[in-house]
């Protein structure tokens, strides 16, 4: 089924309000397996609204009109749709009773003849009752096209859709089921390149890549009549994807760290630390506490993280972490040596199983001859200390710092998943 959304209201076109209904309705239609192909906004003008309805009726199976159901003269949606369909407006008894009840209990409000329009709907429509407002909505089918009329205020529209419209549209439709895979350590362009065969041949399930700062997600979607059918189909498709190798020869399985829109590398690492009964601390320079703040954002983080260090200057690295100042000066603060010593000393001072450290150049200027975006990340355990060098190019200062923390979390994640764990 092809759907089209029409937002009615001059205030949308003038920028006075944002059409958030379009996003909400598109998500709801996607969940029902209904494809939204077009979204249109039109002002409170009968002639223009008639033309938009006519265009929609010729190319869509479902036309949803939002807004213009109020009592004022510029609320034209129901009247215009009735004119287009060659039908009259009739009163809905339940909506009329709601008007009576509203004004009988609120004598401070004067009831005027135009209020009655809110209880009207196009003749032959199935009423869609308004839980939080007075304007009744409706669904009517004519010449193979379904038309839905809804009020504009989201506080009214959303309950009507969730409680009444969704059940009406759910009949005889497959639902859309999705699964989000999250990747770190590969860019969107390479991910799309190595998956090009699957993307070119996709029908159902489908793949939709999304680039985020420092990472990439893939949304896998399928239409199915049951959740069990969808899970089986998505799992098979996921297995195909994760077995594909990168241009460097790594299986994508190694780079996929989790699932879901709301998951994160920080959440994944905290969950792994809890699962394995390990603890973590951190010593941060260029990120200035961003890594530790990301941990603290997660509920239950205190089980695995007792505290850490922010040592921005060379002198504070020496004083707080007990690293010889002459060694820091000799090797430079932007170095593998400094990253490893920061991690090693932080772990010893806190007594944790792991310690991570970050030092580098966030910008905008070079430091110690190292270009902007150069980052060293140290990882220490009871058995060993190691470090990696990352070059984050073409990014803002904020992005360099944020992406550096992602690399740090990923380093801890890899250690926790290693067959030969460092502790």
Per-residue pLDDT reduced to its tens digit, 268-296: 999 999 999 999 999 999 999 999 999 99
Q: Which of 259, 290, 318 is the last residue of a domain?
A: 259
Q: What is the pLDDT of residue 423?
A: 47
Rounded Cα–Cα distance for residues 97 and 93 (Å): 6
* 130 and 191 inside one domain: no
- Residue 172 pLDDT class (50, 70, 90 cuts): low
Q: What is the pLDDT of residue 173?
A: 62
Tally of domains in the chain? 3
**Domain presence at residue 233:** yes
Determine, yes or no, domain membership for 423: no
Q: What is the CATH number of the domain that holds 246?
A: 3.30.70.2860
User: What residues pair up with 153 in beta bridges, in sequence order?
Assistant: none
pLDDT for 174: 75
Last residue of a domain, one of 259, 280, 312: 259
**Which tens digits make up the pLDDT trace of 324-355?**
999 999 999 999 999 999 999 999 999 999 99
* Mean pLDDT of all residues belonging to the chain: 93
Contact (CB, 8 A) for 265 and 184: yes
Decide if 422 is inside a domain: no
Mean per-residue pLDDT, 55-78: 93
Q: Are residues 22 and 161 in the same domain?
A: yes
Same domain, 160 and 181: no
Q: Are residues 223 and 279 in the same domain?
A: no
What's the CATH number where 125 sits? 3.40.980.10
Looking at the DSSP bridge assignments, the partners of residue 140 are 147
- Pairwise CA distance, residues 26 & 4, whole Å: 9
**Domain range spanning residue 244?**
175-259
Residues 272 and 389 in one domain: yes
Strand order in the sheet with 309-310: 309-310, 280-284, 354-360, 374-380, 385-391
- Cα 259 from Cα 264, distance rounded (Å): 9
Domain stops at, among 259, 279, 307: 259
Confidence of residue 1 (pLDDT cuts 50, 70, 90): confident
Do 248 and 270 fall within a single domain?
Answer: no
């Amino acid at each position: 089924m092809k759907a089209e959304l029409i937002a009615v209201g001059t205030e949308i076109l003038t920028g006075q309000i944002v059409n958030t209904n379009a996003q909400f309705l598109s998500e709801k239609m996607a969940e029902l397996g209904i494809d939204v192909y077009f979204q249109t906004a039109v002002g409170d003008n009968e002639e223009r609204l008639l033309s938009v309805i006519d265009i929609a009726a010729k190319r869509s199976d479902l036309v949803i009109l939002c807004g213009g159901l109020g009592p004022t003269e510029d609320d034209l949606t129901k009247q215009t749709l009735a004119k287009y369909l060659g039908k009259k407006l009739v009163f809905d008894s339940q909506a009329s009773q709601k008007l009576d009840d509203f004004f009988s209990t609120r004598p401070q409000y004067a009831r005027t003849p135009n209020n009655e329009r809110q209880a009207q709907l196009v003749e032959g429509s199935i009423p869609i009752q308004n839980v939080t407002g007075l304007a009744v909505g409706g669904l009517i089918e004519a010449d193979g096209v379904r038309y839905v009329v809804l009020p504009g205020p989201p506080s009214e529209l959303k309950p009507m859709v969730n409680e009444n419209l969704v059940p009406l549209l759910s009949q005889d439709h497959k639902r859309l089921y999705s699964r989000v895979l999250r990747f770190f350590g590969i860019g969107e362009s390479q991910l799309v390149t190595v998956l090009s065969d699957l993307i070119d041949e996709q029908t159902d399930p489908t793949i939709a890549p999304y680039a985020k700062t420092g990472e990439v997600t893939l949304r896998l979607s399928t239409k199915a009549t049951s959740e069990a059918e969808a899970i089986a189909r998505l799992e098979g498709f996921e297995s195909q994807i994760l077995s594909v190798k990168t241009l460097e020869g790594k299986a994508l399985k190694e780079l996929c760290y989790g699932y879901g829109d709301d998951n994160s590398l920080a959440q994944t690492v905290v969950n792994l630390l809890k699962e394995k009964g390990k603890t973590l601390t951190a010593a941060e320079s260029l990120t200035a506490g961003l890594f530790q703040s990301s941990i603290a954002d997660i509920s239950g983080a205190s089980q695995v993280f007792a505290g850490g260090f922010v040592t921005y200057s060379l002198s504070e690295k020496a004083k707080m972490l007990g690293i010889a100042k002459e060694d820091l000066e000799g090797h430079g603060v932007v170095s593998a040596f400094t990253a490893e010593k920061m991690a090693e000393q932080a772990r010893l001072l806190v007594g944790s199983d792991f310690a991570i450290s970050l030092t580098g150049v966030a910008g905008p200027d070079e430091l110690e001859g190292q270009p902007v975006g150069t980052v060293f990340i140290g990882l220490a355990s009871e058995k060993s200390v190691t470090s990696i060098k990352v070059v984050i190019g073409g990014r803002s200062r904020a992005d360099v710092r944020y992406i550096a923390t992602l690399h740090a979390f990923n380093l801890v994640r890899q250690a926790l998943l290693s067959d030969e764990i460092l502790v």
